[in-house]
Amino acid sequence: MTLVAVSLCLIVLAGMAGGLSRQPAAGEMLFRVLLGAGCVTGAVPAVEVLAGGTVAELRFVAAPFGAWVFGLDALSAVFLLAILIVGAACAFYGLAYLAPERGHRAVAAAHLLLTLLITALALTVVARAAVPFLIAWEVMAVVAYLLVVFEHERPEVRRAGLIYLVATHVGTLLLLAFFATWAGATGDLSFAALAAHPPFSDARSGIILALALVAFGLKAGAVPFHIWLPEAHGAAPVHVSALMSGVVIKMGVYGLMRTVLMFGAPPAWWGWLVLAIGAGSGVLGVVWALAQHDIKRLLAFHSVENIGIILLGIGAGALGLAYGHPVVAVLGFAGAALHTLNHAVFKSLLFLSAGSVTHATGTRDIDRMGGLARRMPATAAAFLVGAAAIVGLPPLNGFVSEWVIYQALLRGGSARGAMQLAVLTAVPLSLMGALALACFAKVVGVIYLGTPRDEGAAAARESGRGMILPPVGLAALCVAIGLLPVAVVPPALRVGGLVAGSGAEPEVSAVTATVFALALAASLLGAWLWHRVYTGRRRPLEAVTWGCGFATPTPRMAYTASSFAAPLLATFGSFAGTRADHTASSFATHAFDPVLDRVMIPMWRGVSAAASRLRPIQRGGLSRYLLYIATAVIAVLLYLLAAGRGP
């Protein structure tokens, strides 16, 4: 635990050094060294706990509102690892990304705030009592808001920041209610005391679990609470979006898993609800992602989809606990934890390389890019690895975590009773995978392949080393985790066992899976080498694209992103959230968020209209207010009279 404390101090120091030093070059060097040292120091106890060790707790007894306890168990360790890895990558990337803005924006403050965000995130997962948890949570939310409105002179950024702030504070209020309902009249708010609770009545446990689902679902971005996600992640600078998509929304997942750990076995209805929300978020998230052409909003909607996948794992785990199938429970939570780590890695990889691309071409619209694989080969390769990982293709890391979640769902099929129906959720999971393949084939094809569609894309050049190394490092990590499931699946099973509270050891044959992944990678590499040798001997000819004999292809003839996705979106009809505007001579498609535009905003307008009917009460006249006060006093006196008169 002391190592974690040391690492957090180092990280904060790094921020202050980067922020306060006079010379930018020395400040950046100090930032890099201190942040790197801090992240490595923090990762050591996390890996130790995941490998089966234990770490002592830190108690501060003389703190306000009860003892403040900090500890690191397997569940906290996996999230801490994700925070440190993604935090380091985004911070290093941010140094290079924000360097051109140094004169006219608060760049140093941004670096300091980023390190504060990483520290707040780490404190949230190591907190073992309600009060430090809530304080760290609130600090994380506010610092994230400040980072989101970095480009605050743009009105859409301010609007996005406002939506985010409102959403996160609604979540915090619900969290306060959650902890209050749980702890009840006892004063001890540490997680150990909460876990040792007496059995609750059905109503009270229902309220607690519903509050947890809404509050943590708001943070995680599950449909229908996701409305702030695309706005905030689209408006923030790209390394902040990467950090938010990678780890900040995972705090909601952490909260849900910690709730299950402390609650014991949740009732079956909660498991089914989480499963349904997971399936809905997943499918709707990827359909809405298909409709987008802004690369950052597209990636943000994919985060909604992957949160759906993680919730499927949590739902399967909760159902396993409710119906008494420990193997399914352990596998479900293990898959959720592993997918959290994997998604953090490949989503931040995708965001950072997308940032390099938007930086180089000057636009966020993918329909204006094209042919960037020739101009930015390293970024393209890293993005391709991230795309293959998020689709869940072997031998990368997305496949490993989806494989574990599928096993949890399919093993539920061999149970008896209502649990068997859970196996049908494998179908939405496969639909999500297929739609994600469609979406990323579109994204990679339109951005990196083909010919440039615009001058910005034609003039793009590869980014500097500071912006290439973090994505490439993350890509290497994706490949490493994918090739060695035997290294990550047993610790994930340990996390699953901790959350499920059971010692069941499901037979997962991780070794054979590792052999499979290594064999696949080896054969792919072998085929590629053979191909190089073979075509090296007979030199191939180069010509213009044949395309059925059309001799002068132009970039305007290539398929655009919206036409690529059009057949799929047509099948989903009005759920897809696209709107086409066409006049006699022009055509444009716009993508919007159906939940925000068709449900939330009309609801708010309705509430606002109903509330404005009450406006006549507040006309401002003093005599009217005195009349209100007098009426209220007389009403109270009459009530006391009537109550006193009763038998």
Partner 1 sequence: MTQESLVALALLAVVAPALPGIVVKTKSLLTGRRGPPVLQLYSDLWKLVRKGTVYSRTTTWVFRAGPLVALVSLLVAALFLPLDGRSAPATFAGDVIAFAGLLALGRFALVLAGMDTGSSFEGMGASREVTIASFAEPTLFLCFIALVLATGDLTLSGMLGTPLAAAWPRSGATLCLVGTSLFVLLLAENCRVPVDDPATHLELTMIHEVIVLDHSGPDLALILYGSALKLALFGVLVVSIFSPRAELSGPVAVAVLFAGLGVVAVLVGVVESVTARLRLTRVPQLLVGAGALALFGIILELR
Sole window of 27-35, 48-56, 262-270, 556-564 interacting with partner 1 (rule: CB under 8 A): 556-564
Nearer to partner 1, 456 or 555 (CB): 555
What is the closest distance, in whole angstroms, from the C-beta atom of residue 323 to partner 1 in the complex? 15
Residues 387-446 that bind partner 1 (CB under 8 A): 388, 391-394, 399, 402-403, 406-407, 410-411, 413-414, 420-421, 423-424, 426-431, 433-435, 437-438, 440-442, 444-446
Terminal alpha carbon distance of the chain: 64
Nearer to partner 1, 87 or 282 (CB): 282
For residues 188 and 66, the answer to whether their CB atoms sit within 8 Å is: yes
Task: State which of residues 565, 576, 577, 591 lies at the interface with partner 1 (CB under 8 A).
Answer: 565
Nearer to partner 1, 546 or 614 (CB): 546
What is the closest distance, in whole angstroms, from the C-beta atom of residue 278 to partner 1 in the complex? 16
Burial (CB < 10 A; 0-12, 13-18, 19+), residue 30, is middle
According to DSSP, the β-strands at 587-591 and 68-70 are unpaired
* Side chain identity at residue 555, one-letter code: P
For residues 431 and 308, the answer to whether their CB atoms sit within 8 Å is: no
What is the closest distance, in whole angstroms, from the C-beta atom of residue 482 to partner 1 in the complex? 11
Q: How many CB atoms lie within 10 A of CB 599?
A: 13
Nearer to partner 1, 102 or 531 (CB): 531
Nearer to partner 1, 297 or 411 (CB): 411
For residues 97 and 239, the answer to whether their CB atoms sit within 8 Å is: yes
What is the closest distance, in whole angstroms, from the C-beta atom of residue 497 to partner 1 in the complex? 18
Taking CB under 8 A as the rule, does residue 3 contact partner 1?
Answer: no
Nearer to partner 1, 209 or 387 (CB): 387
Give, to the nearest 10 degrees, the angle between helix 268-291 and helix 202-220. 20
Q: Among 590, 581, 310, 357, which residue's Cα sits nearest to residue 471?
A: 357
Nearer to partner 1, 511 or 607 (CB): 511
Task: State which of residues 64, 155, 198, 567 lies at the interface with partner 1 (CB under 8 A).
Answer: 567
Q: How many CB atoms lie within 10 A of CB 617?
A: 9
For residues 305 and 271, the answer to whether their CB atoms sit within 8 Å is: no
Q: How far is CA 14 from the centre of its chain?
A: 25
Interface mask toward partner 1 for 157-176; x: CB under 8 A: --------------------
Q: What is the DSSP string of 259-320?
A: HHHHH-S--HHHHHHHHHHHHHHHHHHHHHHHH--BHHHHHHHHHHHHHHHHHHHHHHHHHH
Task: Look up residue 340 and give its two tokens.
Answer: 């959290």
What is the closest distance, in whole angstroms, from the C-beta atom of residue 438 to partner 1 in the complex? 4
Distance CA 624, CA 605 (A): 28
Nearer to partner 1, 234 or 482 (CB): 482
Q: How far is CA 589 from the centre of its chain?
A: 27
Task: State which of residues 2, 54, 523, 618 lies at the interface with partner 1 (CB under 8 A).
Answer: 523
Distance CA 383, CA 347 (A): 10
Interface mask toward partner 1 for 534-553; x: CB under 8 A: xx--x-xxxxxxxxx-x--x
Sole window of 165-173, 240-248, 249-257, 448-456 interacting with partner 1 (rule: CB under 8 A): 448-456
What is the closest distance, in whole angstroms, from the C-beta atom of residue 487 to partner 1 in the complex? 16
H-run or E-run covering 69: strand 68-70
Residues 6+ apart with CB under 8 A from 135: none
Distance CA 621, CA 292 (A): 51
Residues 492-511 that bind partner 1 (CB under 8 A): 507-509
Taking CB under 8 A as the rule, does residue 531 contact partner 1?
Answer: yes
What is the closest distance, in whole angstroms, from the C-beta atom of residue 428 to partner 1 in the complex? 8
What is the closest distance, in whole angstroms, from the C-beta atom of residue 526 to partner 1 in the complex? 8
Q: How many CB atoms lie within 10 A of CB 68?
A: 22
Interface mask toward partner 1 for 362-391; x: CB under 8 A: --------xx-xx---------x---x--x
Nearer to partner 1, 113 or 329 (CB): 329
What is the closest distance, in whole angstroms, from the C-beta atom of residue 516 to partner 1 in the complex? 6
Sole window of 85-93, 176-184, 338-346, 563-571 interacting with partner 1 (rule: CB under 8 A): 563-571
What is the closest distance, in whole angstroms, from the C-beta atom of residue 433 to partner 1 in the complex? 7
What is the closest distance, in whole angstroms, from the C-beta atom of residue 297 to partner 1 in the complex? 20
Q: How many CB atoms lie within 10 A of CB 98?
A: 20
